[in-house]
C-alpha cells in the first residue's frame, strides 16, 4: 500500500466515523447519513482496491483513477454548493417574511395605543 492510499483510507474512515457521529447526535437525518455512508464507503472501496475500478475508468475516457476521483469530487462539491445556496435562499425568504409579519404586528400594537 502506498502512502496516498494510507492517507485516503485514514481520511475515509475518519469521515465515515464523523458522519456516524453526526447521525447519533441527530444532526444528520437517516437520508443524509445514508448518502454520506454510501459516499465514504465507495471512497474507501476505491482506496482499498484501485485496480478493480481501473477498467471502468479507462472506458469512461480517464487515463488515471486520480483524474476520475478529482472530477467526481468537483461534481459532488458543486452539488453540495448548490444545495447550500438553495437552503440559504429559502432561509432568507423565511426571515424576510417573519420580519414583515412582526413589523406589521408591532405597527398594529402601536396604533391601538
Q: What are the pLDDT digits (tens) for 24-63?
A: 999 999 999 999 999 999 999 998 998 898 888 999 999 8
Q: Please tell me whether residues 37 and 4 are part of one structural domain.
A: yes
**Domain limits at 102?**
65-113
**pLDDT higher than 90, residue 94:** yes
Whole-structure pTM value:
0.69
Number of domains in the chain: 2
Say if 53 falls within a structural domain: no
Does residue 11 lie within any of the structural domains?
yes
Q: What is the distance between the alpha carbons of residues 24 and 40, in angstroms, rounded to a whole number? A: 17
Write down how long the chain is: 113
Give the cell for residue 41. 464507503
Classify each residue of 42-81 as buried b or exposed e, where b means 16 or more C-beta atoms within 10 Å of its C-beta.
ebbebbeebeeeeeebeeeebeebeebbeeeeeeeeeeee
Tell me: do 1 and 44 sit in the same domain: yes
Q: What does the pLDDT read at residue 1? A: 62
* pLDDT tens profile 96-108: 999 999 999 888 7
Clarify whether residues 2 and 42 are in a common domain.
Answer: yes
70 within a domain of the structure (yes/no): yes
Q: Establish if 31 belongs to a structural domain.
A: yes
pLDDT at residue 25, as a whole number: 95
Q: Cell digits for 83? A: 444545495
Other C-beta atoms closer than 10 Å to the C-beta of 28 total 19
User: pLDDT value at position 54?
Assistant: 87
Amino acid at each position: 500500500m502506498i502512502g496516498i492510499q494510507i492517507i485516503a483510507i485514514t481520511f475515509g474512515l475518519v469521515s465515515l466515523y464523523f458522519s456516524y457521529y453526526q447521525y447519533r447526535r441527530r444532526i444528520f437525518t437517516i437520508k443524509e447519513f445514508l448518502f454520506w455512508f454510501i459516499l465514504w464507503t465507495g471512497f474507501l472501496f476505491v482506496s482499498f482496491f484501485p485496480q478493480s475500478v481501473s477498467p471502468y475508468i479507462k472506458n469512461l475516457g480517464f487515463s488515471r483513477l486520480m483524474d476520475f476521483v478529482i472530477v467526481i469530487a468537483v461534481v459532488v462539491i458543486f452539488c453540495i454548493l448548490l444545495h447550500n445556496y438553495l437552503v440559504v435562499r429559502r432561509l432568507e425568504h423565511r426571515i424576510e417574511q417573519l420580519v414583515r409579519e412582526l413589523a406589521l404586528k408591532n405597527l398594529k400594537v402601536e396604533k391601538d395605543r
